[in-house]
Amino acid sequence: MTPSPFTRFAAWFAEAETTEPNDPNAMIIATAAPDPSARTVLLKAWDERGFVFYTNLESRKSSALKANPHAAALFYWKTLHRQIRIEGAVELVAPHEADAYFATRPRDSQAGAWASEQSRPLPDRETFEARLADIKARYEGMAIPRPPFWSGWRLVPDYFEFWQDQQYRLHERHIFQRRDDGWETGLLYP
């Protein structure tokens, strides 16, 4: 095993980027406040500080993360017969990080961030499309700024499990648990 879970993540993620037909950066985020909930988001950045995704800060997932600032992430790459589970605390990214990422988004995605009241009831699609058109008109010919209610969450891992499918369900499961002096590694039964 490699001494750092990030080294192993980098290798597996790089392989997934070359083999997965769609969204190798898709990860399921699970929250537990007030009730358990899971949804797929896209990993937009990662380093040894953690794994970042962006969303509306008034969404159901953000409300859950504010109430219980811990989450679990799951990457599953079917073509590779692999998955990675990551658990830990969450924190908001710095405003300059959110601004920098927002500036890279397609213009329609930027306008959509303003127009969407994410996770709230929508009476009909036309209502959203009208809001989107209004935002596009408001910022025509100008850069669209990041909404104050839109930012990124960073999952700061303290646990990793690397799961590799094996024949006859005799899977390999390698874990990393954060300790004060680094990462403790181990194995789990299939």
Question: Taking residues 43-54, what's their average pLDDT?
Answer: 98
Q: Give the residue extent of every domain in the chain.
A: 5-105+150-188
Averaged pLDDT, 69-75: 98
Q: pLDDT by residue (tens digit) across 105-148?
A: 999 999 999 999 999 999 999 999 999 999 999 999 999 999 99
* Model confidence band, residue 181 (pLDDT cutoffs 50, 70, 90): confident
Angle between helices 107-115 and 125-138 (to 10 degrees): 120
Among 49, 120, 138, 169, the active-site one is 169
pLDDT for 5: 97
pLDDT, tens digit, 9 for 90 and up, residues 9-28: 999 999 999 999 899 999 99
Q: CATH homologous superfamily of domain 5-105+150-188?
A: Electron Transport, Fmn-binding Protein; Chain A (2.30.110.10)
Q: Provide the b/e sequence for 109-130 (b: ≥16 CB within 10 Å).
A: ebbbbbbbebeeeeeeeeeeee
pLDDT for residue 122? 96
Does 1 have pLDDT greater than 70? no
Give the three-state DSSP class for 65: helix
Q: What is the pTM of this model?
A: 0.95
pLDDT tops 70 at residue 2? no
Q: What is the mean pLDDT of the chain?
A: 96
Three-state helix/strand/coil letters over 60-81: HHHHHHHHCCEEEEEEEEHHHC
- State the Cα angle at 34 between 29 and 38, rounded to 5°: 20
The answer, yes or no, to whether residue 6 has pLDDT greater than 90, is: yes
pLDDT at 3: 76
pLDDT digits (tens, 9 = 90+) for 152-167: 999 999 999 999 999 9
Is 169 part of the annotated catalytic residue set?
yes
Residue 99: what pLDDT? 98
Q: For the chain, first and last CA: distance in Å?
A: 17
